[in-house]
Amino acid sequence: MPAAHYNTNVFVNCPFDPAFAPLFDAVIFAVLDCGYTPRCTLEIQDSGQSRIDKIHALIEQSRCGIHDISRTQPDAGSRLPRFNMPFELGLFLGARRFGSGNQRNKACLILDRDRYRYQKYLSDIAGQDIRAHHNRVEDAITAVRDWLSPLTSGRSLPGGREVTRRYHVFRRALPALCRSLRLDRESLTFTDYTNLISFWLQEESRLSRQRPPARHHRQS
């Protein structure tokens, strides 16, 4: 992806496990609905790059970064915690601090389950933009939208409630979309999922513009 997209690329650094999937799916939708391009390591499966090289490239190509650090509990299988999210957050903050040129204007949203929980396990990040999603889709979408809004010049973003409404309508349509395309809903690739969202939003926007303005009826 060319450097021209740097300002609209959003590096999404979140858990990929099934328990987090509802929030991950919602965050990806919110990023696209706000006019940005989500980038994440799930793109790696389609490329021949090594994982760390790809992470470096994604961070370098993205002005914005969303980092969810809520997955603090040990993995159910290994009983060990996973450090990928804090590691990639550190890389992102390091790029902003030590990088040159436009790397220095990076913007970063850190999500956790509760607002001040990070102080117990990652207190070094105090002073960053940390917001709570309370494991709720609505809160995650609103956090992403509200964070992107001041970073977006020249246009206004739809409100968090509107993005959430559209997300729920899209989710209801997703089984039919998958059936129509003979895709397995549970194992959609990141590429397929993001393209489905983007096309759905484009078509939904087109239909909305065709709709006649709402008329107000008098109550008799």
Partner 1 sequence: MSATHPRVIGRPAARLSRAREAAFRKAVHDVLAGQVGNGRGQSEARLDRAEACGTQSLAEHLKPFSGSRLRHARARVSR
User: Interface with partner 1 by CB under 8 A: which residues?
Assistant: 1, 5, 8-9, 31-39, 43, 46, 155-156, 158, 165, 169, 172-173, 175-177, 179-181, 190-191, 194-205, 207-209, 211, 213
Least separation in angstroms between residue 138's CB and partner 1 is 16
Report yes or no: 143 and 131 within 8 Å, Cβ to Cβ: yes
* Cross-strand pairs, 109: 66, 129
Return the number of the residue (115 or 179) whose C-beta is nearest partner 1: 179
Report yes or no: 9 and 1 within 8 Å, Cβ to Cβ: yes
Least separation in angstroms between residue 93's CB and partner 1 is 22
Least separation in angstroms between residue 122's CB and partner 1 is 28
Return the number of the residue (43 or 139) whose C-beta is nearest partner 1: 43
Residue 111 corresponds to which tokens in the numbers above? 């999500």
Give the other-Cβ count within 10 Å of 119's Cβ: 12
Beta strand extents in the chain (DSSP E only): 9-13, 37-39, 64-68, 107-112, 129-132
Residue 31 corresponds to which tokens in the numbers above? 């990023």
Closest by CA to 59, choosing from 13, 18, 19, is: 13
Report yes or no: 112 and 132 within 8 Å, Cβ to Cβ: yes
Return the number of the residue (39 or 71) whose C-beta is nearest partner 1: 39
Return the number of the residue (211 or 218) whose C-beta is nearest partner 1: 211
Least separation in angstroms between residue 94's CB and partner 1 is 23
Return the number of the residue (35 or 94) whose C-beta is nearest partner 1: 35
Least separation in angstroms between residue 170's CB and partner 1 is 8
